[in-house]
Amino acid sequence: MRSRLRCPRCNYEFEYRWIPLASFTSIRFGKKRYIRCPRCHGWSWFNVWDTRIDHEGTDEH
Ligand SMILES: [Zn+2]
């Protein structure tokens, strides 16, 4: 899975590659990831689910 994220600190857009967990729907905070921006190296929470680029195999809601 890939997501296009925008850093809230420096406004830098970057692609983030992640692996969806097996039981995605059962994890309360599964949509959010704590990710380090490659530009300013600041840590922020990102909703990688709503910003995902790849859509195959994501029929779960
Ligand atoms: Zn940044």
Map out the domains of the chain as residue ranges. Answer: 2-47
Name the band, by pLDDT with cuts 50, 70 and 90, for residue 1.
confident
CA 54 to centroid of ligand 1, rounded, Å: 23
Indicate if the pLDDT at residue 29 is higher than 90: no
CA 6 to centroid of ligand 1, rounded, Å: 8
Q: Average pLDDT over the chain, rounded to whole?
A: 82
Q: Which residue has the higher pLDDT, 54 or 4?
A: 4
- 52 is written with which tokens? 């995902």
CA 11 to centroid of ligand 1, rounded, Å: 6
CA 5 to centroid of ligand 1, rounded, Å: 10
CA 60 to centroid of ligand 1, rounded, Å: 30
% of residues, the chain, pLDDT over 70: 72
Alpha-carbon dihedral 3, 20, 61, 23, rounded to 10 degrees: -160
